[in-house]
Structure 1
Amino acid sequence: MGLAQRERRDIWYKVAKAMGYRSRSALKLLQIHQKLKILDGIVSAVDLCASPGGFSQVLAEYVKSSNHSSDASYIPVLGIDIQPIHDLEGVEFWVQDITDQNLYSDIIKHFMNDKVDLVLCDGAPDGFGTAFEDGYYQEDLVLTALQLAIFILRPDATFVVKVFRGKNSRLLTYRISHFFESIVYAKPRVCRQSSCEAFLVCRKFNLPSSLSSQNVEELREAFWRFIYSITDIPSEFNVDYIVCGEAKYDADANYPELPEDFEYSTEVKPPLMLPTNPAYKIACELKKQGKLCKTGKN
């Protein structure tokens, strides 16, 4: 869907722009927090797969450092993505791959040798067109984010990650539950109900005893052995599903005209922050030059 079509159809896109957020995903985090209070008392946070910075914007509003408030150079929110992100006050952005094996140590150094209270991951791989493929690659991304998180989360910290609910999501959830005392599915109203997207809100981080004795290098490998050793799900294992946010607007609905009670500005505004280096940039340039490969009919 093009930008103009999205503006006409997606009311939450309009709400996010009217409120000054870079993306509608900021509203997802706000709705999760309104229901589950995940940002209360947080003094340090890491936003993985952060582009274009919607989650980071919300974190900058809520996360207030107390441990290093005397150090003017200390920034309590860190956003990480493989794409460059425009600067944002109260957030430091890094262009890094979350699979980098040395990233965890750089993060801990950034937080002055402290671990963090919250790790978020709203990332998703480029769609492959089928639910099975998209779900497979999303699961790999979720586990990669978790592997990084176990190195940087302090005990009792919180981990929030986007998942695609599907055939294997129950097993994925059970595997992740071994690292946390509490885990629930949260579905913000901003998410389209027709989408399989939801967020796992995992609280009270506690490294399993079988992993706690490992050193850093051993833990990296032991993590994957531990994860894939879990193949059976107990019949009594269940995870609550919580809807977050008011049902005032329907994310799936078409709003050719805004409702009369729409409480934000109806002025059409340009995007607050265009992508710095979108994945489709090269394809767009090739298309303009007539050089984009086309699939011929047999």
Structure 2
Amino acid sequence: MGKSSKDKRDLYYRKAKEEGWRARSAFKLLQLNEQFELFKGVKRVVDLCAAPGSWSQVLSREIFKDENNSDAKIVAVDLQPMSPIDHVTTLQADITHPKTLEKILDIFEGGKADFVCSDGAPDVTGLHDLDEYIQAQLILSALQLATCVLKEGGAFVAKIFRGRDIDLLYSQLGLLFDKVICAKPRSSRGTSLESFIVCLGYKPRAGWNPKLNPNLSTEEFFQEMKIGRPELHDDLSFDAEERKVAPFIACGDLATSYDSDATYTLEKDLQRTSLDPVQMPTAPPYKKALELKRKGELKIIK
């Protein structure tokens, strides 16, 4: 979590530090769970694009509250290294590579996951069409792994950017899950395109055996189950796309949740203290620049 002036006034940012969360995004998963009871009966979880680990923290704290879940297993996967979290096995790996799937299944001892989630997002460019496309591809990459590791009836949650073509993604997910819902947690800023797709009741396609292959695009991976582009026939006709609209739900108790776009001032009689980050970045993108600066080798181009 950064220290911009807006962040300092953001109540969720401050509460995340006070409660020991690595990022304010922890409240998003907490509010999604409050609405959909995602953790109920869950014993095996895969957290994709997990760094810095706030969602893994939530999973660890909430799932292991139940004494019957002492044998639960949580696997967090990210290309970036992550600092350890209690009850969480971290893998620094590519979610699209078959070896990553093998490692997860080994940790689960051959069992399937009850819940797969992804809070991953690309570095936004400000070009909304491009950002939405890249995010959709990231979701499909997470979905690839989910179809290979998720048990029948399991749940899948991922961050999305809502755009004009989002109904196509809803339709694709609707072929794999009984229920698809677009949810906006109260802790997610209203000014952001960000929402979360909540997919409940995984239903594997009959006769389809998904296998990860790094040489296949996401479209080619899903082609056999027909959630790619409409098939073009020899007479140049094609099947019309079936478009669906997922219901939109605002998550979080409206009576107690704070407005993520509002700023809140501290009470006058409250001592003002600056809280350090819960967990410093393990591999920040500016790490190389800091090393060069220490050595006096950082060149400033004017």
Query: What's the TM-score, normalizing by structure 2?
Result: 0.84
SS class of match (1:3): coil
Relative to structure 1, the CA distance from residue 75 to residue 214 in structure 2 (aligned partners, 3 Å threshold; closer, same or farther) is closer
Structure 1: give runs of 5+ residues left out of the alignment. none
SS of equivalent to 1:102: helix
2:284 maps to which of 268, 274, 278:
278
Corresponding residue for residue 113 of structure 1? 110
1:103 lines up with 2:100 in the alignment: yes
Matched, 1:258 2:266: yes
Tell me the distance in 1 between the aligned counterparts of 2:168 and 2:210: 27
Q: Which residue of structure 2 aligns with residue 148 of structure 1? A: 145
Shift in alpha-carbon separation, 1:259–1:12, aligned structure 2, 3 A? farther
Equivalent residues of 1:185, 1:239 under 8 A apart: yes
Distance change in 2, residues 1:120/1:259 (3 Å): farther
Q: Give the fraction of aligned pairs with identical amino acids, expressed as a percent.
A: 35
SS at match of 2:222: helix
User: 1:142 offset after TM fit, Å?
Assistant: 0.3
Cα distance in 1 between the residues matched to 2:128 and 2:90: 31
Instruction: Give the superposed CA RMSD.
Output: 2.9
Relative to structure 1, the CA distance from residue 138 to residue 283 in structure 2 (aligned partners, 3 Å threshold; closer, same or farther) is farther
Check conservation: 1:45, 1:63, Cα contact below 8 A. no
1:259 Cα shift? 6.2
CA shift in 2, pair 1:111/1:214, >3 Å: closer
**Residue 80 of structure 1: aligned partner:** 77
CA separation of 1:189 and 1:266: change in aligned 2, threshold 3 A: farther
Q: Are the aligned partners of 1:43 and 1:66 in contact in 2 as well (CA < 8 Å)?
A: no
Deviation string 1:191-228 (CA, Å, 9 cap, x unpaired) is 0001010000001101222xx3437368x956332332
Could you tell me whether the CA contact under 8 Å between 2:43 and 2:69 is conserved in 1? no
Q: Does structure 2 conserve the Cα–Cα contact (< 8 Å) formed by 1:188 and 1:245?
A: yes
**How many positions carry a matched residue from both structures?**
284
Query: Secondary structure in 2 aligned to 1:45?
Result: strand
Q: Which residue of 2 aligns with 1:203?
A: 200
Cα distance change of structure 1 residues 18 and 208 upon mapping to structure 2, 3 Å threshold: same
CA distance in 2, matches of 1:90, 1:36: 23
Indicate if the aligned counterparts of 2:157 and 2:196 stay in contact, CA closer than 8 A.
yes
Whether the aligned pair in 2 keeps the contact of 1:45 and 1:76 (CA below 8 Å) is yes
What are the Cα deviations for residues 37-69 of structure 1, in whole angstroms up to 9, with x where unaligned?
Answer: 111111110100001110001111222499995
- TM-score (norm: length of structure 1): 0.85
C-alpha change, 1:208 and 1:266, in structure 2 (3 Å) is farther
Aligned residue identity for 2:61: E
**Are the counterparts in 2 of residues 51 and 84 from structure 1 also a CA contact under 8 Å?**
yes
